[in-house]
Structure 1
Protein backbone atom coordinates (compact mmCIF):
# COMPACT_ATOMS: atom_id res chain seq x y z
CA UNK A 1 0.00 0.00 0.00
CA UNK A 2 1.03 3.61 -0.49
CA UNK A 3 0.74 5.98 2.43
CA UNK A 4 1.81 9.50 3.23
CA UNK A 5 2.05 11.54 6.38
CA UNK A 6 1.92 15.21 7.28
CA UNK A 7 2.75 17.24 10.34
CA UNK A 8 4.48 20.28 11.73
CA UNK A 9 7.79 20.60 13.48
CA UNK A 10 8.65 22.90 16.37
CA UNK A 11 11.74 24.44 17.83
CA UNK A 12 13.05 25.79 14.52
CA UNK A 13 16.79 26.15 13.94
CA UNK A 14 18.56 27.75 10.96
CA UNK A 15 19.98 25.41 8.32
CA UNK A 16 23.07 26.12 6.24
CA UNK A 17 21.09 28.08 3.64
CA UNK A 18 19.26 30.15 6.25
CA UNK A 19 15.78 28.61 6.28
CA UNK A 20 14.33 27.27 9.52
CA UNK A 21 14.27 23.58 10.42
CA UNK A 22 13.17 21.65 13.48
CA UNK A 23 15.48 20.96 16.40
CA UNK A 24 15.44 17.28 15.43
CA UNK A 25 16.54 18.05 11.87
CA UNK A 26 19.29 20.32 13.21
CA UNK A 27 20.49 17.53 15.50
CA UNK A 28 20.44 14.96 12.71
CA UNK A 29 22.36 17.33 10.47
CA UNK A 30 25.05 17.72 13.14
CA UNK A 31 25.20 13.97 13.70
CA UNK A 32 25.56 13.37 9.97
CA UNK A 33 28.50 15.81 9.92
CA UNK A 34 30.12 13.98 12.86
CA UNK A 35 29.98 10.63 11.10
CA UNK A 36 31.26 12.24 7.89
CA UNK A 37 34.24 13.67 9.75
CA UNK A 38 35.12 10.34 11.29
CA UNK A 39 34.63 8.52 7.97
CA UNK A 40 37.01 10.90 6.20
CA UNK A 41 39.56 10.53 8.99
CA UNK A 42 39.30 6.76 8.62
CA UNK A 43 40.01 7.04 4.89
CA UNK A 44 42.94 9.35 5.57
CA UNK A 45 44.37 6.95 8.13
CA UNK A 46 44.00 3.98 5.79
CA UNK A 47 45.24 5.68 2.63
CA UNK A 48 48.28 7.29 4.24
CA UNK A 49 49.58 4.12 5.86
CA UNK A 50 50.28 2.43 2.51
CA UNK A 51 52.61 5.14 1.17
CA UNK A 52 54.25 5.58 4.58
CA UNK A 53 55.01 1.84 4.78
CA UNK A 54 56.47 1.99 1.26
CA UNK A 55 58.68 4.97 2.16
CA UNK A 56 59.88 3.15 5.27
CA UNK A 57 60.73 0.02 3.26
CA UNK A 58 62.54 1.92 0.52
CA UNK A 59 64.56 3.74 3.18
CA UNK A 60 66.03 0.39 4.21
CA UNK A 61 66.80 -0.45 0.58
CA UNK A 62 68.41 2.94 0.09
CA UNK A 63 70.48 2.52 3.26
CA UNK A 64 72.04 -0.67 1.94
CA UNK A 65 73.02 1.09 -1.28
CA UNK A 66 74.66 4.07 0.41
CA UNK A 67 78.15 4.34 1.77
CA UNK A 68 78.00 3.43 5.44
CA UNK A 69 80.90 5.82 6.06
CA UNK A 70 79.11 8.79 4.53
CA UNK A 71 77.57 10.67 7.51
CA UNK A 72 75.41 12.90 5.32
CA UNK A 73 73.84 9.92 3.55
CA UNK A 74 73.20 8.10 6.82
CA UNK A 75 71.73 11.25 8.34
CA UNK A 76 69.40 11.60 5.35
CA UNK A 77 68.13 8.02 5.74
CA UNK A 78 67.64 8.51 9.46
CA UNK A 79 65.67 11.67 8.71
CA UNK A 80 63.38 9.77 6.32
CA UNK A 81 62.72 7.07 8.92
CA UNK A 82 62.11 9.63 11.64
CA UNK A 83 59.65 11.52 9.45
CA UNK A 84 57.70 8.34 8.69
CA UNK A 85 57.59 7.41 12.38
CA UNK A 86 56.29 10.86 13.25
CA UNK A 87 53.54 10.63 10.64
CA UNK A 88 52.45 7.19 11.87
CA UNK A 89 52.37 8.49 15.43
CA UNK A 90 50.19 11.42 14.33
CA UNK A 91 47.77 9.00 12.68
CA UNK A 92 47.57 6.91 15.84
CA UNK A 93 47.32 9.72 18.38
CA UNK A 94 45.23 12.26 16.49
CA UNK A 95 43.38 10.73 13.54
CA UNK A 96 42.53 7.33 15.03
CA UNK A 97 41.75 8.77 18.45
CA UNK A 98 39.45 11.44 17.00
CA UNK A 99 37.29 8.94 15.13
CA UNK A 100 37.00 6.57 18.08
CA UNK A 101 33.57 8.00 18.96
CA UNK A 102 31.85 6.41 15.98
CA UNK A 103 34.24 3.51 15.39
CA UNK A 104 32.68 1.56 18.26
CA UNK A 105 29.02 2.44 17.90
CA UNK A 106 26.94 1.76 21.00
CA UNK A 107 23.39 0.64 20.24
CA UNK A 108 20.33 0.62 22.49
CA UNK A 109 18.51 -2.54 21.44
CA UNK A 110 14.75 -2.75 21.91
CA UNK A 111 11.86 -4.09 19.81
CA UNK A 112 9.82 -1.43 17.99
CA UNK A 113 7.22 -1.34 15.18
CA UNK A 114 8.65 -0.30 11.83
CA UNK A 115 5.78 1.56 10.21
CA UNK A 116 5.61 4.45 12.73
CA UNK A 117 9.35 4.96 12.29
CA UNK A 118 8.92 5.35 8.55
CA UNK A 119 5.94 7.70 8.91
CA UNK A 120 7.86 9.91 11.34
CA UNK A 121 10.97 10.07 9.17
CA UNK A 122 9.04 10.88 6.00
CA UNK A 123 7.11 13.56 7.88
CA UNK A 124 10.33 15.08 9.26
CA UNK A 125 11.96 15.37 5.84
CA UNK A 126 8.78 16.46 4.11
CA UNK A 127 8.03 19.19 6.63
CA UNK A 128 11.56 20.54 7.03
CA UNK A 129 12.91 20.27 3.49
CA UNK A 130 10.87 18.61 0.73
CA UNK A 131 7.95 21.03 0.72
CA UNK A 132 10.28 24.00 0.65
CA UNK A 133 12.11 22.54 -2.34
CA UNK A 134 8.92 21.47 -4.12
CA UNK A 135 9.81 17.76 -4.04
CA UNK A 136 7.14 15.10 -3.47
CA UNK A 137 7.86 12.15 -1.13
CA UNK A 138 5.91 8.92 -1.52
CA UNK A 139 6.01 6.10 1.01
CA UNK A 140 5.37 2.76 -0.69
CA UNK A 141 5.06 0.34 2.20
CA UNK A 142 4.38 -3.37 2.27
CA UNK A 143 4.67 -3.46 6.04
CA UNK A 144 1.87 -4.21 8.47
CA UNK A 145 2.76 -4.93 12.10
CA UNK A 146 6.39 -6.03 11.68
CA UNK A 147 8.79 -5.20 14.48
CA UNK A 148 12.57 -4.91 14.53
CA UNK A 149 14.88 -5.45 17.48
CA UNK A 150 17.43 -2.68 17.20
CA UNK A 151 18.30 0.92 17.96
CA UNK A 152 15.31 2.92 16.75
CA UNK A 153 16.96 6.33 16.90
CA UNK A 154 20.07 5.22 15.04
CA UNK A 155 18.02 3.60 12.28
CA UNK A 156 15.79 6.68 12.06
CA UNK A 157 18.93 8.80 11.58
CA UNK A 158 20.15 6.53 8.76
CA UNK A 159 16.80 6.76 6.98
CA UNK A 160 16.76 10.53 7.46
CA UNK A 161 20.15 10.93 5.78
CA UNK A 162 19.13 8.76 2.83
CA UNK A 163 15.83 10.56 2.31
CA UNK A 164 17.29 14.03 2.84
CA UNK A 165 20.03 13.43 0.28
CA UNK A 166 17.52 12.12 -2.26
CA UNK A 167 15.38 15.24 -1.80
CA UNK A 168 18.37 17.58 -2.12
CA UNK A 169 19.50 15.74 -5.26
CA UNK A 170 16.04 16.10 -6.88
CA UNK A 171 14.86 18.96 -9.05
CA UNK A 172 11.80 21.02 -8.12
CA UNK A 173 8.65 19.12 -9.02
CA UNK A 174 10.40 15.73 -8.88
CA UNK A 175 9.31 12.75 -6.80
CA UNK A 176 11.26 10.64 -4.31
CA UNK A 177 9.96 7.19 -3.39
CA UNK A 178 10.73 5.28 -0.22
CA UNK A 179 9.86 1.61 -0.75
CA UNK A 180 9.95 -0.75 2.20
CA UNK A 181 9.17 -4.37 2.87
CA UNK A 182 9.91 -7.14 5.33
CA UNK A 183 10.83 -10.66 4.36
CA UNK A 184 11.71 -13.58 6.59
CA UNK A 185 14.51 -12.34 8.79
CA UNK A 186 15.18 -8.91 7.26
CA UNK A 187 13.82 -5.42 6.68
CA UNK A 188 14.56 -3.76 3.34
CA UNK A 189 14.22 -0.08 2.47
CA UNK A 190 15.07 1.46 -0.89
CA UNK A 191 14.91 5.15 -1.77
CA UNK A 192 14.59 5.97 -5.46
CA UNK A 193 15.11 9.36 -7.08
CA UNK A 194 16.28 10.99 -10.30
CA UNK A 195 19.70 12.52 -9.70
CA UNK A 196 20.00 16.19 -10.60
CA UNK A 197 23.46 17.65 -10.05
CA UNK A 198 22.31 21.23 -10.47
CA UNK A 199 19.66 20.83 -7.76
CA UNK A 200 22.11 19.15 -5.41
CA UNK A 201 24.64 21.97 -5.62
CA UNK A 202 22.45 25.02 -6.24
CA UNK A 203 23.42 27.47 -3.51
CA UNK A 204 20.15 29.36 -3.96
CA UNK A 205 18.04 26.31 -3.06
CA UNK A 206 17.29 25.29 0.54
CA UNK A 207 19.78 22.72 1.84
CA UNK A 208 20.30 20.85 5.09
CA UNK A 209 23.41 18.85 4.21
CA UNK A 210 26.88 20.41 4.14
CA UNK A 211 27.94 21.93 0.80
CA UNK A 212 31.27 20.06 0.67
CA UNK A 213 29.48 16.76 1.29
CA UNK A 214 27.01 17.40 -1.51
CA UNK A 215 29.80 18.28 -3.90
CA UNK A 216 31.84 15.21 -2.97
CA UNK A 217 28.80 12.96 -3.47
CA UNK A 218 28.76 13.90 -7.15
CA UNK A 219 32.38 12.91 -7.73
CA UNK A 220 33.40 9.46 -9.07
CA UNK A 221 33.64 6.91 -6.29
CA UNK A 222 37.01 5.26 -5.92
CA UNK A 223 36.82 1.48 -5.53
CA UNK A 224 33.04 1.77 -5.09
CA UNK A 225 33.43 3.60 -1.80
CA UNK A 226 30.30 5.28 -0.50
CA UNK A 227 29.92 9.04 -0.64
CA UNK A 228 31.06 10.65 2.61
CA UNK A 229 27.55 11.89 3.43
CA UNK A 230 26.35 8.28 3.85
CA UNK A 231 28.91 7.37 6.52
CA UNK A 232 26.23 7.31 9.22
CA UNK A 233 24.01 5.02 7.10
CA UNK A 234 26.78 2.51 6.50
CA UNK A 235 27.99 2.53 10.10
CA UNK A 236 24.51 2.10 11.58
CA UNK A 237 23.57 -0.66 9.13
CA UNK A 238 26.76 -2.63 9.79
CA UNK A 239 26.47 -2.15 13.55
CA UNK A 240 23.08 -3.91 13.29
CA UNK A 241 24.56 -6.73 11.20
CA UNK A 242 23.04 -5.30 8.01
CA UNK A 243 24.24 -3.40 4.96
CA UNK A 244 23.94 -0.11 3.09
CA UNK A 245 24.32 0.27 -0.67
CA UNK A 246 24.57 3.31 -2.92
CA UNK A 247 24.05 2.99 -6.65
CA UNK A 248 26.26 4.84 -9.12
CA UNK A 249 24.89 8.32 -9.71
CA UNK A 250 24.78 9.93 -13.14
CA UNK A 251 23.18 13.29 -13.71
CA UNK A 252 19.65 12.92 -15.02
CA UNK A 253 19.42 9.19 -14.35
CA UNK A 254 17.60 7.12 -11.76
CA UNK A 255 19.51 6.37 -8.55
CA UNK A 256 18.87 4.30 -5.44
CA UNK A 257 19.94 4.07 -1.81
CA UNK A 258 19.28 0.79 -0.03
CA UNK A 259 19.30 -0.25 3.62
CA UNK A 260 18.98 -3.84 4.82
CA UNK A 261 18.80 -4.77 8.51
CA UNK A 262 17.95 -8.12 10.15
CA UNK A 263 14.62 -8.00 12.02
CA UNK A 264 16.36 -9.52 15.04
CA UNK A 265 19.44 -7.37 14.73
CA UNK A 266 22.52 -8.15 16.78
CA UNK A 267 25.92 -6.53 16.73
CA UNK A 268 28.31 -8.31 14.33
CA UNK A 269 31.09 -10.26 16.05
Structure 2
Protein backbone atom coordinates (compact mmCIF):
# COMPACT_ATOMS: atom_id res chain seq x y z
CA UNK A 1 0.00 0.00 0.00
CA UNK A 2 1.29 3.44 -0.85
CA UNK A 3 1.23 6.27 1.67
CA UNK A 4 1.89 9.92 0.97
CA UNK A 5 2.68 12.98 3.05
CA UNK A 6 3.53 15.65 0.50
CA UNK A 7 2.82 19.11 1.85
CA UNK A 8 1.61 22.30 0.24
CA UNK A 9 3.18 25.73 0.19
CA UNK A 10 2.06 29.27 -0.35
CA UNK A 11 -0.99 31.15 0.86
CA UNK A 12 -3.95 29.20 2.15
CA UNK A 13 -7.22 30.60 0.74
CA UNK A 14 -10.33 29.97 2.81
CA UNK A 15 -13.10 28.21 0.90
CA UNK A 16 -16.31 26.62 2.16
CA UNK A 17 -15.21 27.05 5.76
CA UNK A 18 -11.70 25.54 5.58
CA UNK A 19 -8.29 26.51 4.28
CA UNK A 20 -7.18 25.13 0.92
CA UNK A 21 -3.85 25.26 -0.87
CA UNK A 22 -3.33 27.42 -3.91
CA UNK A 23 -3.05 24.25 -5.99
CA UNK A 24 -6.42 23.01 -4.74
CA UNK A 25 -7.98 26.37 -5.57
CA UNK A 26 -6.48 26.13 -9.07
CA UNK A 27 -7.79 22.59 -9.56
CA UNK A 28 -11.23 23.66 -8.38
CA UNK A 29 -11.26 26.47 -10.96
CA UNK A 30 -10.11 24.06 -13.70
CA UNK A 31 -12.89 21.65 -12.79
CA UNK A 32 -15.46 24.44 -13.09
CA UNK A 33 -14.06 25.57 -16.47
CA UNK A 34 -14.26 22.11 -18.00
CA UNK A 35 -17.72 21.62 -16.53
CA UNK A 36 -18.94 24.86 -18.14
CA UNK A 37 -17.57 23.72 -21.48
CA UNK A 38 -19.23 20.31 -21.09
CA UNK A 39 -22.62 21.82 -20.24
CA UNK A 40 -22.43 24.21 -23.19
CA UNK A 41 -21.63 21.28 -25.48
CA UNK A 42 -24.67 19.39 -24.19
CA UNK A 43 -26.89 22.44 -24.67
CA UNK A 44 -25.65 22.93 -28.22
CA UNK A 45 -26.11 19.26 -29.11
CA UNK A 46 -29.45 18.71 -27.40
CA UNK A 47 -31.10 21.84 -28.79
CA UNK A 48 -30.06 21.33 -32.39
CA UNK A 49 -32.03 18.10 -32.80
CA UNK A 50 -35.42 19.57 -31.82
CA UNK A 51 -34.73 22.79 -33.72
CA UNK A 52 -33.92 20.85 -36.91
CA UNK A 53 -37.14 18.85 -36.48
CA UNK A 54 -39.21 22.02 -36.02
CA UNK A 55 -37.60 23.55 -39.09
CA UNK A 56 -38.40 20.46 -41.18
CA UNK A 57 -42.00 20.28 -40.00
CA UNK A 58 -42.44 23.96 -40.82
CA UNK A 59 -41.71 23.16 -44.48
CA UNK A 60 -44.17 20.26 -44.35
CA UNK A 61 -46.85 22.53 -42.94
CA UNK A 62 -46.12 25.17 -45.55
CA UNK A 63 -46.85 22.71 -48.35
CA UNK A 64 -50.08 21.57 -46.67
CA UNK A 65 -51.48 25.02 -45.92
CA UNK A 66 -53.30 27.28 -48.34
CA UNK A 67 -50.69 29.37 -50.13
CA UNK A 68 -53.27 32.15 -50.47
CA UNK A 69 -53.92 32.34 -46.72
CA UNK A 70 -51.64 35.14 -45.46
CA UNK A 71 -52.16 34.24 -41.79
CA UNK A 72 -51.07 30.64 -42.31
CA UNK A 73 -48.04 31.67 -44.33
CA UNK A 74 -47.13 34.30 -41.72
CA UNK A 75 -47.32 31.67 -38.99
CA UNK A 76 -45.03 29.28 -40.85
CA UNK A 77 -42.56 32.07 -41.60
CA UNK A 78 -42.59 33.01 -37.92
CA UNK A 79 -41.77 29.43 -36.93
CA UNK A 80 -38.85 29.24 -39.36
CA UNK A 81 -37.51 32.65 -38.33
CA UNK A 82 -37.72 31.66 -34.68
CA UNK A 83 -35.73 28.50 -35.33
CA UNK A 84 -33.13 30.43 -37.33
CA UNK A 85 -32.74 32.90 -34.45
CA UNK A 86 -32.18 30.07 -31.95
CA UNK A 87 -29.59 28.41 -34.19
CA UNK A 88 -27.81 31.75 -34.57
CA UNK A 89 -27.75 32.15 -30.79
CA UNK A 90 -26.17 28.72 -30.46
CA UNK A 91 -23.52 29.60 -33.02
CA UNK A 92 -22.72 33.09 -31.76
CA UNK A 93 -22.98 32.52 -28.00
CA UNK A 94 -22.69 28.85 -27.08
CA UNK A 95 -20.28 27.66 -29.77
CA UNK A 96 -18.22 30.87 -29.66
CA UNK A 97 -17.86 30.57 -25.89
CA UNK A 98 -16.53 27.03 -26.30
CA UNK A 99 -14.10 27.91 -29.09
CA UNK A 100 -11.04 28.44 -26.87
CA UNK A 101 -11.51 25.24 -24.85
CA UNK A 102 -12.98 22.99 -27.54
CA UNK A 103 -9.60 21.44 -28.30
CA UNK A 104 -7.33 20.40 -25.44
CA UNK A 105 -3.62 20.85 -26.02
CA UNK A 106 -1.36 18.44 -24.15
CA UNK A 107 2.12 19.21 -22.83
CA UNK A 108 3.45 15.68 -23.15
CA UNK A 109 6.60 14.38 -21.51
CA UNK A 110 7.65 11.11 -19.92
CA UNK A 111 7.18 10.95 -16.14
CA UNK A 112 6.93 8.28 -13.40
CA UNK A 113 3.39 7.44 -12.31
CA UNK A 114 4.12 6.61 -8.68
CA UNK A 115 4.95 10.21 -7.59
CA UNK A 116 1.92 11.59 -9.45
CA UNK A 117 -0.37 9.30 -7.46
CA UNK A 118 1.37 10.08 -4.15
CA UNK A 119 1.24 13.84 -4.65
CA UNK A 120 -2.40 13.91 -5.74
CA UNK A 121 -3.57 11.70 -2.89
CA UNK A 122 -1.61 13.85 -0.43
CA UNK A 123 -3.32 16.98 -1.75
CA UNK A 124 -6.78 15.47 -1.22
CA UNK A 125 -5.90 14.00 2.17
CA UNK A 126 -4.44 17.18 3.61
CA UNK A 127 -7.34 19.30 2.41
CA UNK A 128 -10.91 18.13 1.97
CA UNK A 129 -10.52 14.57 3.31
CA UNK A 130 -9.08 15.79 6.60
CA UNK A 131 -11.79 18.46 6.93
CA UNK A 132 -14.51 15.88 6.21
CA UNK A 133 -13.08 13.10 8.38
CA UNK A 134 -12.80 10.75 5.39
CA UNK A 135 -9.91 8.31 4.95
CA UNK A 136 -8.26 7.95 1.56
CA UNK A 137 -6.38 4.68 1.06
CA UNK A 138 -4.25 3.59 -1.87
CA UNK A 139 -3.83 0.08 -3.25
CA UNK A 140 -0.98 0.55 -5.67
CA UNK A 141 0.84 -1.97 -7.81
CA UNK A 142 2.92 0.73 -9.44
CA UNK A 143 6.70 0.44 -9.39
CA UNK A 144 8.82 2.39 -11.86
CA UNK A 145 6.28 2.64 -14.71
CA UNK A 146 6.48 5.77 -16.82
CA UNK A 147 3.75 7.46 -18.84
CA UNK A 148 4.31 9.77 -21.78
CA UNK A 149 1.54 12.35 -21.45
CA UNK A 150 0.47 15.57 -19.79
CA UNK A 151 1.30 15.06 -16.12
CA UNK A 152 -0.57 18.12 -14.88
CA UNK A 153 -3.78 17.23 -16.75
CA UNK A 154 -3.72 13.63 -15.55
CA UNK A 155 -3.11 14.72 -11.96
CA UNK A 156 -6.09 17.07 -12.24
CA UNK A 157 -8.32 14.25 -13.49
CA UNK A 158 -7.29 12.03 -10.59
CA UNK A 159 -7.85 14.90 -8.15
CA UNK A 160 -11.43 15.40 -9.39
CA UNK A 161 -12.19 11.70 -8.98
CA UNK A 162 -10.86 11.58 -5.42
CA UNK A 163 -12.41 14.91 -4.42
CA UNK A 164 -15.86 13.88 -5.61
CA UNK A 165 -15.57 10.58 -3.77
CA UNK A 166 -14.68 12.41 -0.55
CA UNK A 167 -17.53 14.89 -1.03
CA UNK A 168 -19.98 12.00 -1.47
CA UNK A 169 -18.74 10.15 1.62
CA UNK A 170 -19.91 10.41 5.22
CA UNK A 171 -17.58 11.11 8.12
CA UNK A 172 -15.49 8.04 8.93
CA UNK A 173 -15.95 6.53 5.47
CA UNK A 174 -13.10 5.17 3.36
CA UNK A 175 -12.32 6.15 -0.24
CA UNK A 176 -10.04 3.70 -2.04
CA UNK A 177 -7.81 4.34 -5.03
CA UNK A 178 -6.59 1.19 -6.77
CA UNK A 179 -3.97 1.78 -9.43
CA UNK A 180 -1.71 -0.27 -11.65
CA UNK A 181 -0.18 -0.28 -15.11
CA UNK A 182 -0.20 -3.15 -17.59
CA UNK A 183 1.83 -3.43 -20.77
CA UNK A 184 0.03 -0.58 -22.52
CA UNK A 185 -2.19 1.35 -20.09
CA UNK A 186 -2.37 3.05 -16.71
CA UNK A 187 -5.50 2.26 -14.71
CA UNK A 188 -6.81 4.25 -11.73
CA UNK A 189 -10.07 3.22 -10.04
CA UNK A 190 -11.70 5.08 -7.15
CA UNK A 191 -14.36 3.28 -5.10
CA UNK A 192 -16.56 4.77 -2.39
CA UNK A 193 -20.04 4.53 -0.88
CA UNK A 194 -21.99 7.42 -2.37
CA UNK A 195 -24.26 9.24 0.07
CA UNK A 196 -26.55 11.96 -1.31
CA UNK A 197 -26.84 13.69 2.07
CA UNK A 198 -23.07 13.98 2.41
CA UNK A 199 -22.82 15.31 -1.13
CA UNK A 200 -25.46 18.01 -0.65
CA UNK A 201 -25.19 18.98 3.04
CA UNK A 202 -24.40 22.73 3.07
CA UNK A 203 -23.02 22.51 6.62
CA UNK A 204 -20.14 20.29 5.46
CA UNK A 205 -16.95 21.56 3.80
CA UNK A 206 -17.16 21.43 0.00
CA UNK A 207 -14.90 22.21 -2.93
CA UNK A 208 -17.16 21.34 -5.86
CA UNK A 209 -19.90 23.67 -7.08
CA UNK A 210 -23.28 23.17 -5.39
CA UNK A 211 -25.17 22.81 -8.68
CA UNK A 212 -22.66 20.21 -9.86
CA UNK A 213 -23.08 18.16 -6.71
CA UNK A 214 -26.85 18.35 -7.05
CA UNK A 215 -26.74 17.30 -10.72
CA UNK A 216 -24.44 14.39 -9.90
CA UNK A 217 -27.18 12.91 -7.69
CA UNK A 218 -29.78 12.99 -10.45
CA UNK A 219 -30.46 10.13 -12.93
CA UNK A 220 -28.23 10.21 -16.00
CA UNK A 221 -28.93 9.26 -19.59
CA UNK A 222 -27.14 6.15 -20.84
CA UNK A 223 -23.38 6.63 -21.27
CA UNK A 224 -23.47 10.23 -20.06
CA UNK A 225 -21.29 11.24 -17.14
CA UNK A 226 -22.13 13.68 -14.38
CA UNK A 227 -21.09 17.20 -15.35
CA UNK A 228 -18.47 17.39 -12.62
CA UNK A 229 -16.37 14.73 -14.40
CA UNK A 230 -16.04 16.69 -17.64
CA UNK A 231 -12.34 17.31 -16.98
CA UNK A 232 -11.72 13.59 -16.39
CA UNK A 233 -13.47 12.63 -19.62
CA UNK A 234 -11.72 15.26 -21.76
CA UNK A 235 -8.28 14.50 -20.38
CA UNK A 236 -8.71 10.74 -20.74
CA UNK A 237 -10.03 10.90 -24.31
CA UNK A 238 -7.39 13.40 -25.44
CA UNK A 239 -4.76 10.94 -24.20
CA UNK A 240 -6.47 8.18 -26.20
CA UNK A 241 -8.04 6.64 -23.11
CA UNK A 242 -11.43 6.66 -21.45
CA UNK A 243 -13.22 7.55 -18.23
CA UNK A 244 -16.06 5.55 -16.67
CA UNK A 245 -18.61 6.41 -13.99
CA UNK A 246 -20.64 3.56 -12.55
CA UNK A 247 -24.17 3.90 -11.23
CA UNK A 248 -24.83 2.68 -7.70
CA UNK A 249 -27.84 2.74 -5.37
CA UNK A 250 -27.67 5.01 -2.33
CA UNK A 251 -24.93 4.00 0.13
CA UNK A 252 -23.64 1.22 -2.12
CA UNK A 253 -20.25 1.10 -3.78
CA UNK A 254 -19.77 3.51 -6.68
CA UNK A 255 -16.80 3.44 -9.04
CA UNK A 256 -14.87 6.01 -11.04
CA UNK A 257 -12.27 4.66 -13.45
CA UNK A 258 -9.56 6.28 -15.57
CA UNK A 259 -7.75 4.25 -18.26
CA UNK A 260 -4.96 5.98 -20.15
CA UNK A 261 -2.37 4.61 -22.62
CA UNK A 262 1.21 4.76 -21.39
CA UNK A 263 2.01 6.78 -24.48
CA UNK A 264 -0.37 9.56 -25.56
CA UNK A 265 -1.30 9.70 -29.26
CA UNK A 266 0.60 12.17 -31.41
CA UNK A 267 -1.32 15.46 -31.99
CA UNK A 268 -3.11 15.72 -35.31
- Do both share a fold (TM > 0.5)? yes
Q: Distance in 2 between matches of 1:99 and 1:218?
A: 26
Offset at residue 101 of structure 1 (A): 2.6
Look up the match of 1:260. 259
The within-5 A match list for 1:156-171 is 156-171=155-170
Tell me how far apart the structure 2 counterparts of residues 155 and 98 of structure 1 sit (CA, whole Å).
Answer: 24
1:263, CA displacement in angstroms?
0.3
Partner of 2:263, secondary structure, is coil
How far 1:124 moved relative to its partner?
0.4
Deviation sequence 1:206-250 (CA, Å, 0-9, x none): 100011101100111112310000000000000000000000032
Distance 1:241 1:267, change over 3 A: farther
TM-superposed CA distance for 1:72, in Å, is: 1.6
Q: Is it true that 1:226 corresponds to 2:209 in the alignment?
A: no
TM-score (norm 2): 0.97
- Return the alpha-carbon distance in structure 1 between the equivalents of residues 183 and 267 of structure 2: 19
Match of 2:63 in 1: 64
CA contact (8 A) 1:240 1:268 kept: no
Q: CA deviation at 1:268?
A: 7.3
Residue 102 (str. 1) matches residue 65 (str. 2): no
User: 2:18 touches 2:131 (CA, 8 Å); kept in 1?
Assistant: no
Normalised TM-score (structure 1): 0.97
Unaligned runs of 5+ in 1: none
Q: Which residue of 2 aligns with 1:182?
A: 181
- Which residue does the alignment assign to 1:14? 14
Query: Cα 1:268–1:217, aligned 2, differ >3 Å: closer, same or farther?
Result: farther
CA contact (8 A) 1:218 1:249 kept: no
Aligned to 1:93: 92
User: Any conservation in 1 of the 2:241–2:260 contact (CA below 8 Å)?
Assistant: yes
Aligned partners of 1:184, 1:8: CA distance in 2, in Å?
Answer: 32
Point out 4+ residue stretches in structure 1 off by more than 3 angstroms. none
Alignment of structure 1 residues 114-125 onto 2, 5 Å? 114-125=113-124
CA distance in 2, matches of 1:262, 1:100: 27
Structure 2: where are the runs of 5+ without partners? none
How far did 1:76 drift?
1.2
C-alpha RMSD over aligned residues: 1.1
Q: Partner of 1:83: helix, strand, or coil?
A: helix
CA distance in 1, matches of 2:206, 2:61: 53
Secondary structure of the corresponding residue to residue 260 of structure 1: strand
How far, CA to CA, are the matches of 1:200 and 1:251 in structure 2?
11
**Secondary structure at the counterpart of residue 256 of structure 2:** strand
Find the aligned partners of 1:250 and 1:224 in 2 and give their Cα distance: 17
Residues 86/267 of structure 1: CA separation in 2 closer, same or farther (3 Å cut): farther
Query: Does the CA-based 8 Å contact 2:6-2:118 persist in structure 1?
Result: no
Task: Provide the C-alpha distance between the structure 2 equivalents of 1:127 and 1:234, rounded to a whole number of angstroms.
Answer: 25
Alignment of 1:35-74 (within 5 A): 35-74=34-73
